[in-house]
Amino acid sequence: MFNNIKIEKDEKKFIPNRLEGEALIKAIHSLQSNRKISQQELALATGYYSINENGVKVADPLELINAIVQYKISQKYKTKRGAKPKYELVVQKSNKLIIGKNYLEEAGIPPGTKVKIIIMDRGKIMIQPSKLNKNK
Region label for 87, one of left (φ > 0), alpha (ψ between -120 and 50) or beta (otherwise): left
What pLDDT, on a 0 to 100 scale, did the predictor assign at position 43?
A: 92
> What is the C-alpha to C-alpha distance for residues 63 and 44, in angstroms, rounded to an integer?
11
Predicted TM-score (pTM) of the model is 0.53
Domains in the chain and their CATH numbers?
1-82 (no CATH), 89-136 (2.10.260)
Q: What is the pLDDT of residues 47-59, one digit of tens each?
A: 999 888 888 889 9
Q: Check pLDDT > 60 for residue 39.
A: yes
> What is the C-alpha to C-alpha distance for residues 92 and 132, in angstroms, rounded to an integer?
28
Q: What is the pLDDT of residues 96-127, one digit of tens each?
A: 988 888 788 778 888 999 998 888 777 778 88
What pLDDT, on a 0 to 100 scale, did the predictor assign at position 119?
A: 85
pLDDT band at 12 (very low <50, low <70, confident <90, very high): very low
